[in-house]
């Protein structure tokens, strides 16, 4: 076994690295407290069946260029000072999204810290929404 490891150290390192890259998104989500993510189908179901509120955490220019129908703008840079404006949505499901789904989990954590219990991240973000051919408001 030791001889195999010594002769194939690059192969072993590549296997360990690949495994780590596959596990990283799961570990990052668990450690970051970002919580659950929903795909575009689940998001549209929450919007249609449970009247979920959608919050766009991208910069105002990105929001102005196009956003999910009915989404409210809450840029991550303004999150701390404006999050209280959205406390009225605590009783309902809230979907947060950014451009790719990598930034919004921080906002999910912050809303959960404010007492939101049903808040999720849109997996893949606005790009996934666009790729799904779903409606956009400009």
- Residues in contact with 34: Cβ distance below 8 Å, sequence separation at least 6, in sequence order: 104, 105, 106, 108, 109, 121
Q: Which two tokens stand for residue 13?
A: 């390192």
Active site residues: 98
Distance (Å, rounded) from C-alpha 2 to C-alpha 36? 41
- Residues in contact with 131: Cβ distance below 8 Å, sequence separation at least 6, in sequence order: 124
Residue with tokens 């570990």: 27
Q: How many CA atoms lie within 13 A of 22 on its CB side?
A: 6
């Amino acid at each position: 076994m030791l001889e195999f490891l010594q002769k194939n150290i690059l192969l072993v390192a590549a296997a360990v690295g690949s495994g780590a890259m596959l596990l990283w998104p799961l570990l990052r989500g668990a450690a970051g407290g970002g919580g659950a993510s929903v795909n575009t189908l689940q998001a549209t179901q929450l919007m249609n069946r449970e009247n979920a509120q959608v919050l766009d955490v991208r910069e105002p220019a990105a929001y102005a260029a196009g956003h999910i129908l009915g989404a409210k703008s809450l840029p991550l840079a303004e999150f701390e000072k404006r999050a209280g404006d959205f406390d009225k949505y605590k009783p309902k499901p809230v979907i947060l999204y950014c451009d790719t789904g990598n930034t919004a989990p921080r906002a999910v954590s912050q809303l959960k810290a404010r007492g939101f219990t049903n808040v999720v991240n849109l997996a893949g973000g606005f790009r996934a929404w666009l790729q799904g051919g779903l409606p956009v408001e400009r």
